[in-house]
């Protein structure tokens, strides 16, 4: 797919949209490991996106085909909206947005692969799943019907004028009174609709059968094409051992209303199949993963065995509270170091002269840093440093650094009990990565994306 094609479908404003995840899964890692997100951005694609850019047919453009399933622009936008980064996304730099899009796209592809495999294992045809889908569909139909009913309620102009007059220009009061009147009308319309459905379906309630000894198969409500037993009420709910008649009544009314309204919605042609399909997209991978997780980590012995061969998982590195001053030249660093060794405070000088913005703003206090997580040059320079000792001058990309360790928290090796979740997650990540790799070999994945000129060229546009 040529770049111009992608630009057209994303609004044509020529900005970076994706860091492409065209490469396969990163070995030895899992798809939930955010660190790997940033390993995926090898190729940048020149497209423009954003909350309002893709619309109409563009939203339906397939970015990746996974067997018979597609990952569309619309799917990707939904994934961004549902991600923990949804709010930050719009204010990110273009390259960061591209990286995030690339990662989410990759996750969607994995999700489709898992769905395909779940279907191959007939997990979409189990009685439990079929029932779950049916319940979900009914819930959507009910909500759609009620929403439509609510949206059609409009107050007549005379009534709005009367509200305006009585609230004397107070916008808050006007709005509150208007909303109350709409709510009153909605309740009346809803009640009338239900009564009409009950009448049309000849619904009968067997109220006298409701007591603490009611048997599960007892029919409590029936009508044309409608039959509800006590067992139907308890599906998916915590059922009291000796159900309180009030509880039964409450559930019966809820389920009865749900069935009647959702049937009416279906008869009125309300279409919810797109959303049911999206639900399958989410649930089937989750169901498959639940099974695989039980298979990959069946018991505590699995954790023990893995931990004994990977004891480094329990290692917590030493943490150091670092002070640092950065200068732009060696000569300045040398002069500063002499002043510090002669008794001046590194922190006062950092607050006055450091060229590192964070260090300058915090008077050289760089906070707690885990051993091994700093810049390699700094790590090396402070390896043998005593507390409060001043380091030699260290050259880094930031400038010429003078470092000291204010205090430290020693590292430790935790037992399995302290890192059980971490061990479990590590095993799952390893297994999942290999599993997904296998699925990619089994099902066809076609990326409808094109490689573009180097990132630096694209970024300049």
Which residues form the interface with another protein (CB under 8 A)?
11, 13, 15, 49-53, 86-94, 97, 139, 142-143, 146-147, 150, 169-172, 174-176, 179-180, 182-183, 186-187, 190-191, 194-195, 198-199, 202-209, 249-250, 252-258
Q: Tell me whether residue 172 or residue 301 sits nearer to another protein (CB atom).
A: 172
Residues β-bridged to residue 367: 322
Shortest Å distance, C-beta 186 to another protein: 4
Give the nearest distance from C-beta 209 to another protein in angstroms.
7
For 17, phi then psi, to 5°, come to -115, -45
Pick between residue 188 and residue 341 the one whose CB is nearest to another protein: 188
How many other CB atoms are found less than 10 A from the CB of residue 213? 8
Nearest to 218 by CA among 252, 194, 246: 252
> Residue written as tokens 């700093």?
374
Minimum CB separation of residue 86 from another protein in Å reads 8
Q: Smallest distance from the beta carbon of 164 to another protein, in angstroms?
A: 10
State the minimum distance, in angstroms, from the CB of residue 70 to another protein: 24
Q: Which is nearer to another protein, 144 or 374 (CB)?
A: 144
Cα–Cα distance, 382 to 392 (Å, whole number): 9
Using CB atoms within 10 Å of the CB of residue 6, give its burial: 0 to 12 exposed, 13 to 18 middle, 19+ buried.
Answer: buried
DSSP bridge partners of 20: 43
256 or 364, CB closer to another protein? Answer: 256
Q: What is the DSSP string of 15-51?
A: -EEEEE--S-PPTT--TT-GGGGGGS--EEEE----T
- Shorter beta-carbon distance to another protein: residue 198 or 393: 198
**Cα–Cα distance between 126 and 111 in angstroms, integer?**
20
Min CB(187)–another protein separation in Å: 7
CB closer to another protein out of 131 and 254: 254
Read off the tokens for 65: 């085909």
Half-sphere exposure in the Cβ direction for 147 (13 Å, CA): 7
| Closest CB 233 distance from another protein, rounded Å | 12
Q: Whose structure tokens read 């609709």?
A: 193
d(CA 43, CA 22): 8
CA–CA gap between residue 107 and residue 113 (Å, rounded): 10
- Burial readout 322-357 (b: 16 or more C-beta within 10 A, e: otherwise): bbbbbbeeeebbeebbeebeeeeebbebbbebbbbe
**49 or 374: whose CB is closer to another protein?**
49
CB nearer to another protein: pick between 155 and 445: 155
Q: Please state the closest distance from residue 14 (CB atom) to another protein, in A.
A: 11
Residue ranges in 343-415 assigned as alpha helix (H):
346-353, 357-361, 376-382
For the record, the structure tokens of 258 come out as 């749900």
Residue placing its CB nearer to another protein in the complex, 133 or 416: 133
| Assigned token pair, 378 | 């700094």
* 386 phi-psi bin (left φ>0, alpha ψ -120 to 50, beta other): beta
CA 24 vs. chain centroid, Å, equals: 22
Task: Give the shortest CB-253-to-another protein separation in angstroms.
Answer: 3
Least distance from C-beta 83 to another protein, angstroms?
Answer: 13
């Amino acid at each position: 797919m040529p770049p111009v094609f992608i630009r057209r479908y994303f609004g044509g404003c020529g900005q970076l949209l994706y860091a492409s995840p065209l490469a396969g899964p990163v070995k030895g890692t899992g798809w939930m490991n955010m660190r790997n997100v940033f390993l995926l951005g090898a190729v940048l694609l020149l497209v423009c996106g954003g909350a309002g850019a893709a619309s109409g047919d563009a939203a339906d453009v397939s970015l990746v085909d996974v067997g018979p399933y597609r990952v569309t622009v619309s799917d990707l936008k939904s994934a961004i909206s549902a991600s923990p980064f949804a709010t930050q996304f719009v204010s990110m730099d273009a390259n960061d947005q591209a990286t995030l899009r690339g990662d989410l796209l990759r996750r969607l592809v994995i999700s489709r692969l898992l769905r395909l495999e779940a279907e191959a294992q007939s997990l979409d045809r189990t009685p439990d799943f079929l029932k779950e889908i049916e319940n979900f569909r009914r819930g959507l139909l009910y909500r759609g019907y009620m929403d439509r009913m609510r949206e059609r309620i409009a107050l007549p102009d005379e009534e709005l004028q009367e509200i305006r007059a009585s609230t004397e220009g107070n916008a808050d009061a006007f709005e509150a009174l208007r909303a109350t009147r709409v709510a009153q009308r909605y309740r009346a319309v809803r009640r009338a609709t239900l009564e009409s459905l009950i009448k049309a379906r000849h619904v009968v309630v067997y109220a006298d059968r409701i007591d603490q000894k009611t048997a599960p198969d007892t029919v409590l409500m029936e009508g044309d094409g409608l039959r509800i037993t006590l067992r139907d009420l308890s599906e998916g709910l915590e059922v009291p051992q000796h159900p309180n008649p009030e509880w039964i009544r409450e559930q019966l009314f809820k389920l009865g209303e749900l069935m009647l309204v959702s049937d009416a919605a279906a008869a009125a042609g309300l279409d919810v199949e797109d959303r049911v399909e999206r639900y399958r997209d989410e649930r089937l991978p989750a169901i498959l993963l639940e099974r695989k997780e039980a298979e990959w980590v069946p018991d505590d012995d699995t954790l023990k065995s893995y931990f004994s061969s990977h004891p480094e998982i329990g290692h917590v590195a030493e943490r150091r509270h670092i002070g640092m001053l950065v200068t732009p030249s060696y000569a300045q660093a040398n002069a500063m170091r002499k002043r510090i060794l002669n008794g001046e405070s590194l922190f006062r000088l950092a607050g006055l002269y450091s060229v590192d913005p964070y260090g300058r703003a915090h008077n050289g206090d760089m906070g707690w840093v885990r051993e091994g997580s700093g810049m390699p040059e700094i790590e090396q320079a402070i390896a043998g440093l005593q507390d409060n000792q001043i380091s030699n001058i260290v050259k880094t990309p930031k400038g010429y650094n003078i470092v000291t360790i204010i205090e430290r928290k020693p590292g430790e090796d935790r037992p399995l009990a302290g890192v059980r979740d971490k061990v479990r997650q590590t095993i799952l990540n390893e297994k999942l990565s290999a599993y997904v790799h296998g699925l990619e070999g089994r099902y066809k994945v076609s990326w409808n994306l094109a490689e573009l000129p180097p990132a630096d060229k694209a970024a300049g546009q």
